[in-house]
Amino acid sequence: MNQKSKIFVAGGTGLVGGAIVRNLLEKRYTNIVANCHHREPMPLGGVRYLPLDLLDPSAVEKFFEEEKPEYVFLAAAKVGGIVANNTYRADFIYQNLQIQNHVIHQSYRSSVKKLMFLGSTCIYPKECPQPIKEEYLLTGELEYTNEPYAIAKIAGIKMCESYNLQYGTDFVSVMPTNLYGPGDNFDLEKSHVLPALIRKIHLGKALENSDWETIRKDLNNLPIEGIDGNASDEDMLHVLNNYGIKTNHASRITDHAKVSIEIWGSGRPMREFLWSEDMADACVFLMERVNFEDIVRVRRPDLQGDEIRNTHINIGTGKDIAIKDLAHLIKGIVGFGGDFCFNTEKPDGTMKKLTDVSTLHGLGWRHRMELTEGIGILYQWYLQQQQH
Annotate 168-184 with DSSP letters as a single string.
---EEEEEE-EEE-TT-
- Burial of 232-257, coded b for 16+ CB within 10 Å and e otherwise, reads eeeebbebbeebbbbbebeeebeeeb
| Antiparallel, parallel or unpaired: β 259-264 and 273-275 | unpaired
Whether 71 sits among the annotated catalytic residues: the reply is no
User: Amino acid identity of 46?
Assistant: G
**Domains of the chain in sequence order:** 7-184+271-319+352-370 (3.40.50.720)
The H-or-E segment that residue 236 falls in is helix 233-242
142: left (phi over 0), alpha (psi -120 to 50) or beta: beta
Prior bond of 43 cis (ω within 30°): no
With 0-12 / 13-18 / 19 or more C-beta atoms within 10 angstroms meaning exposed / middle / buried, residue 144 is middle
Instruction: Compute the distance between CA of residue 355 and CA of residue 138 in angstroms, rounded to an integer.
Output: 15
pTM score of the predicted model: 0.91
Instruction: Compute the distance between CA of residue 296 and CA of residue 302 in angstroms, rounded to an integer.
Output: 10
In the chain, count of helices (H) and strands (E)?
A: 13, 15
CA geometry: angle 260, 382, 328, nearest 5 deg? 35
Q: Residue 38 CB: number of other CB atoms within 10 A? A: 7
pLDDT tens for the chain, residues 1 to 388: 999 999 999 999 889 999 999 999 999 999 999 998 655 565 567 799 999 999 999 999 999 999 999 999 999 999 877 777 888 899 999 999 999 999 999 999 999 999 999 999 989 998 899 999 999 999 999 989 889 999 999 999 999 999 999 999 999 999 999 999 998 999 998 788 999 999 999 999 999 999 999 999 999 999 999 999 999 999 999 999 999 999 875 445 555 678 999 999 999 999 999 999 999 999 999 999 999 999 988 876 666 667 889 999 999 999 999 999 999 999 999 999 999 999 999 888 778 889 999 999 999 999 999 999 999 999 999 999 988 6
Nearest to 177 by CA among 356, 12, 349: 356
Which one of 49, 71, 149, 163 is the catalytic residue? 149
Name every residue whose Cβ is closer than 8 Å to that of residue 348 and which is 6 or more positions away in sequence.
Answer: 264, 265, 266, 268, 269
Alpha-carbon distances of 165 from 101, 104, 134, 160, rounded to whole Å: 17, 14, 19, 9
233: Cα separation from own chain's centroid: 33
The H-or-E segment that residue 108 falls in is helix 89-109
